[in-house]
Structure 1
């Protein structure tokens, strides 16, 4: 008897024809697409464009809560309304709860951008899963994430966390049963559906992880951020007119460009 399983690469930053082709080649059934500094309507439109009968692309947001030096990244699936970056953690969690989103913790315990073990334990009943394998992380860092999951009794998930096209499908979350469409994937995380975290092996996989890790240096340079924050009114800043002032009171910055520059 054959048991149907669904492979979800649960966090990618890139999406185009080449990404879709590679995902399918590697047997991935669904991608969770959550690019940085991009509003939900844009993500949703792009996800719809690249979804077909063989691959579901789930629109999601990796929201940056807190200020630059103490960011806490939270991955939200199933959002109906946009949520900006650089608002308080509590405000983001309240908004996710209002929208009944699936709330995932990417790269727990990593640097100053992730929820720590005590924070995860404190908010355990508000979280749906934490990442226990991330291709971009080094082996000892992935071991730590598994220990955090065990200590806090949280379901795990795995992802390629691909910022580069060739990394898509290097790791995935394999759910029991067939998941047909975006809502099924979101519900699988929300309901704690049985799953296994899987990743490719060998030297090529290790090299791909190292290339992704090295890419972090570029991701966190001011040169890149300077291009993102040219106008002071970027799509996911809480001061953007698209949010109609709903998040002004919970913004961690006053809204001027200099406030967002890392110190």
Structure 2
């Protein structure tokens, strides 16, 4: 397959609007995987469909927070047919992803207390389709942890901008050696371990943009979390929400 035939996918973004779409197209992306925090799957799907067109495919996904606030293990699921809440056990999430035949990838491994650790990936490697080895929000030493996990366990890899800010979209991407025309194509590419390369923009501007994104992490884990927990009430993706009809009561951690 030639370079022109490959598909450039930013595998994980948190923000989506007209500005994001224009930036993604300007940077030569073909696909965005859109997985905002604490938004239910039907709403993510509706937003993804609204911003998809013939030039750019937006694939809906869920970054599920397994475990409690103090000890979270994030998993990114692509190809879900039914909503899955946050704050359920890791085993419970993996069983549900398997039931739905979703592709499951590990974002930002070993990032503080919000990520899968080496031993988590090793214990569940048969249920995981790829490990992130480059995340534009992470610092180099943090990305090296993901690279070591993927190399040690001989796992497929991916990369993303993990953009929470518009300007970071397209700073890193995964180039698949196959056509990705819809959501199922991306699920198939991940589950079949299609050949790919993880790439990012070069130079000082990329490093500065990564630092800006990383600095935003402080807000996310301080006032942002306080606001969500104490001022906003129960999250829409809390397993006790009525929308989940009690299906996850047995694996809820709260």
Q: TM-score, normalised by structure 2?
A: 0.97
Aligned to 1:88: 89
Aligned-pair Cα RMSD in Å: 1.1
> Separation in 1 of the partners of 2:2 and 2:104?
31
Aligned to 1:11: 12
Asked if structure 1 preserves the Cα contact closer than 8 Å seen for 2:20 and 2:169, the reply is yes
> Separation in 2 of the partners of 1:119 and 1:66?
13
Aligned to 1:228: 228
In structure 2, runs of 5+ residues without a counterpart are none
SS of alignment partner, residue 59 of structure 2: strand
SS of alignment partner, residue 71 of structure 1: strand
- Report how far residue 191 of structure 1 moved: 1.2
- Report how far residue 187 of structure 1 moved: 1.3
- Report how far residue 116 of structure 1 moved: 0.7
Aligned to 2:69: 68
Aligned to 1:110: 111
Aligned to 1:158: 159
> Separation in 2 of the partners of 1:94 and 1:29?
31
Aligned to 1:261: none
Aligned to 1:217: 218
- Within a 5 Å distance, the mapping from 1:174-213 to structure 2 comes to 174-213=175-214
> Separation in 1 of the partners of 2:184 and 2:247?
27
Deviations 1:223-254 (A, max 9, x none): 3224324454321000101001111121101x
> Separation in 2 of the partners of 1:193 and 1:33?
21
In structure 1, runs of 5+ residues without a counterpart are 254-263
Deviations 1:156-212 (A, max 9, x none): 100000000000000000000221112111211111111000000100000000000
> Separation in 1 of the partners of 2:106 and 2:47?
23
- Report how far residue 2 of structure 1 moved: 3.8
SS of alignment partner, residue 70 of structure 2: helix
Question: Matched residue pairs, number?
Answer: 252
Question: Quick one: structure 1 residues 75 and 2, their matched pair in 2 at CA, closer, same or farther if it must change by over 3 Å?
Answer: closer
Farther-moved stretch of structure 1 (30-39 vs 223-232): 223-232
> Separation in 1 of the partners of 2:137 and 2:174?
15
1:146 aligns with 2:123: no
Asked if structure 1 preserves the Cα contact closer than 8 Å seen for 2:178 and 2:189, the reply is no
> Separation in 1 of the partners of 2:148 and 2:2?
32
SS of alignment partner, residue 120 of structure 1: helix
> Separation in 1 of the partners of 2:140 and 2:80?
32
Deviations 1:47-93 (A, max 9, x none): 00000111110100000000111100000000000000001111000
SS of alignment partner, residue 218 of structure 1: helix
- Report how far residue 119 of structure 1 moved: 1.2
- Report how far residue 218 of structure 1 moved: 0.2
1:48 aligns with 2:49: yes
Q: TM-score, normalised by structure 1?
A: 0.93
Asked if structure 1 preserves the Cα contact closer than 8 Å seen for 2:66 and 2:87, the reply is yes
